[in-house]
């Protein structure tokens, strides 16, 4: 197994003259799970977009396996092992589930579809249905499964649980965790459901107005409820069982 690693070093980035992110550090290796949390507008999506080359990077570095890819286009970053599930469910509504998955194969064998079906049995049941015939949750599963068809080493997921019932969200997290451990997939998860992120990720980047308020092991962050309270308004102790519900506990 290669030791693919994505790292942001002191990244400063934004959009057309607006600086959003300042001095952001983050790293994830194959098989590791990282979470990004913060209030609305804190810069979570911008962090993933910067890793993918979809923002204006002003300074700092985006490294893949130690190679600075800061000036490389998104497609080249994908070829080098980065996968991306954007917030907008990125599926073709006029194509079947099976054909949607095939578009993600990038020349790979059709047999990979079986891996997607093993991960999401619901997609197998719906394989002949068109994208516009799927529920929100099924579209979300398809979007993730399609990104996995290219066999990324590191997958960036932007709010994959949005709109899902708590029990479905929890199931999806368990499936992703299992897949990550078994296949050595590195994950960077942006998610509003803070309790689920704390359960999923071994390291957390907590953003406050584009700046890192915390970057480090989840267990360390759980010991600092005051930080969670000030940065995202989490009401209760993050390490209490009550906080690990599917519902976010934002003030």
- Residue 50 or 139: the one with the smaller Cβ distance to ligand ATP is 50
- Phi/psi for 131 (5° steps) reads -55, -40
Site string for ligand ATP, 12-41 (x = CB under 6 A): ---x--x-x-----------------x-xx
Residues 160, 80: Cα–Cα separation, whole Å: 23
Residue 88 sits in the site that holds ligand ATP (CB under 6 A): no
Shortest Cβ distance from residue 163 to ligand ATP (Å)? Answer: 13
Q: Which member of 24, 31, 34, 46 binds ligand ATP (CB under 6 A)?
A: 46
Element (H, E) at 6: strand 5-15
- Residue 116 or 198: the one with the smaller Cβ distance to ligand ATP is 198
- Compute CA distances 100 → 29, 82, 124, 164, 249, whole Å: 28, 19, 12, 21, 35
Shortest Cβ distance from residue 200 to ligand ATP (Å)? Answer: 17
- CA atoms within 13 A of residue 245's CA, in its CB half-sphere: 10
DSSP output for 171-195? HHHHHHHHHHHHHT-EEEEE-S-HH
Region 129-168 residues binding ligand ATP, contact defined as CB under 6 A: none
- Residue 113 or 190: the one with the smaller Cβ distance to ligand ATP is 190
Query: What Rg do the C-alpha atoms of the chain give, in angstroms?
Result: 18
Q: Which member of 42, 164, 176, 188 binds ligand ATP (CB under 6 A)?
A: 42
Strand partners, 5: 29
Shortest Cβ distance from residue 184 to ligand ATP (Å)? Answer: 27
Residues 195, 213: Cα–Cα separation, whole Å: 18
- Residue 38 or 160: the one with the smaller Cβ distance to ligand ATP is 38
Q: Which member of 35, 43, 186, 212 binds ligand ATP (CB under 6 A)?
A: 43
- Residue 4 or 249: the one with the smaller Cβ distance to ligand ATP is 249
| Residue 250 DSSP code | B
Binding residues vs ligand ATP (CB under 6 A): 15, 18, 20, 38, 40-46
């Amino acid at each position: 197994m290669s030791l693919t690693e994505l790292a942001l070093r002191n990244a400063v980035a934004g959009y057309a003259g607006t600086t959003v992110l300042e001095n952001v550090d983050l790293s994830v290796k194959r098989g590791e799970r990282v979470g990004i949390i913060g209030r609305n507008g804190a810069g979570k999506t911008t962090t993933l977009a910067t890793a993918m080359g979809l923002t204006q990077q002003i300074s700092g570095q985006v490294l893949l396996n130690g190679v600075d890819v800061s000036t490389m286009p998104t497609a080249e970053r994908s070829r080098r092992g980065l996968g991306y599930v954007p917030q907008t469910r990125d599926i073709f509504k006029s194509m079947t589930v099976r054909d949607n998955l095939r578009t993600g194969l990038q020349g790979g064998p059709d047999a990979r579809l079986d891996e997607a079906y093993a991960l999401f049995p619901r997609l197998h049941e719906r394989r002949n249905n068109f994208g516009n015939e799927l529920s929100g949750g099924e579209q979300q599963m398809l979007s993730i499964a399609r990104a996995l068809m290219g066999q990324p080493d590191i997958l960036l997921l932007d709010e994959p649980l949005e709109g899902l019932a708590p029990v479905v969200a929890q199931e999806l997290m368990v499936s992703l965790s299992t897949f990550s451990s078994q296949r050595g997939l590195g994950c960077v998860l942006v998610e509003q459901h803070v309790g689920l992120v704390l359960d999923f990720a071994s390291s957390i980047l907590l953003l406050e107005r584009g700046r890192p308020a915390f970057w480090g092991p989840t267990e360390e962050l759980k010991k600092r409820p005051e930080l969670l309270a000030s940065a995202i308004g989490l009401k209760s102790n993050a390490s209490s069982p009550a906080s690990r519900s599917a519902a976010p506990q934002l003030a």
